[in-house]
Amino acid sequence: MGLARLVRGEILSLKHRDFIEAARVNGASDFRIIFLHMVPNVTPIIIVWATLAVPVFIIVEATLSFLGLGVRIPTPSWGNMLNEAQQFITRSWWLAFIPGFMIYITVLAINILGNGLRDALDPRLSE
């Protein structure tokens, strides 16, 4: 799900919560309600979404660089390393294994971090 849709849904559900209504009754301005009540409640959702989206970005960048559509050769990229290692795969298998393994480990670590953040920050999961 897109970030904008996720944030919009959360804002729409927050609008009708008791603490927002109480702030409105007490005369809080829209600016105060947004920045003191809504933004702190939406921030964990944005952090978790970003953490879970980073592995996708890493894989897309590596794939595009491997295919020659990403960053150019002087720029270091795991996709470029895999592309260059193709010609040596029969003699020097580790040239392809190490960048592929590092992509795997990085994506796995960030996914585990994202799942941990989701479990820690999502109030619906702690109930």
The reported pLDDT for the residue numbered 123 is 61
The reported pLDDT for the residue numbered 58 is 94
Q: Could you list the residue range(s) of the whole structural domain that residue 39 is in?
A: 3-126
What total number of domains does the chain contain? 1
User: Measured between alpha carbons, how far is 65 from 82 in angstroms, rounded to an integer?
Assistant: 9
Cα 127 to chain centroid, rounded:
24
Mean pLDDT, consecutive 10-residue stretches, the chain (127 aa), reads 88 90 89 89 87 92 90 87 90 91 95 87 63
Of 100, 56, 104, nearest to 79 by C-alpha is 100
The pTM of the whole model exceeds 0.85: no
The reported pLDDT for the residue numbered 126 is 56
- Is the CB of residue 106 less than 8 Å from the CB of residue 58? yes
The reported pLDDT for the residue numbered 101 is 96
The reported pLDDT for the residue numbered 1 is 67
